[in-house]
Structure 1
Amino acid sequence: MARRLGYNLAKTVAFSEKTADPIQELIEAARRATADAVIVPSVTHFEGNAIPGELTQVVDVITVSPEETYARWSLNPTRWSSDTPDPA
């Protein structure tokens, strides 16, 4: 999937139930690898079956099944919404 989407696979990361804070560990691994995205099997890989907001502040998260992308916001979405008048 990484290759198909134009990413170079940097590494595979796996945590055990003994990992105290797996999301923070994943964030740190992504930062060390200067990753643009993290690919996971599904949202069920995360506690609460939801993509952690703190992770999407750092990288895009792509799920394999179903294939979805949870993108980082580079702009404030409320500031540039279609309901906001153009500042120009």
Structure 2
Amino acid sequence: MSFGAAGGSIPMASKEPPERGSFPLDHFGECTYVMREYLECIKTNRSQQQECRPLAKKYLQCRMDTGLFGQDDMRNLGFTDEEAERSDPSKQ
């Protein structure tokens, strides 16, 4: 008995590279602590994920600082200046 597409062929999905290029694994665990904080936040705030955006930003910044992600402006990654001011109390 055969499963899948007719003739046994596998349909080919178009393969496109990620929009931001490669995203290397954090083999040395340099940003693991932030990742765990973020995942815990997501778990506890399922209905209000907006609460976790500062941790997402902190995680991306950690990856940029350690060379695991290309340097980019946070606005290009979906974070506004207002969010930056709210997540950094020293700017208020």
Same topology, TM > 0.5: no
Higher strand share: 1
Q: TM-score, normalised by structure 1?
A: 0.25
Q: Which has the larger radius of gyration?
A: 2
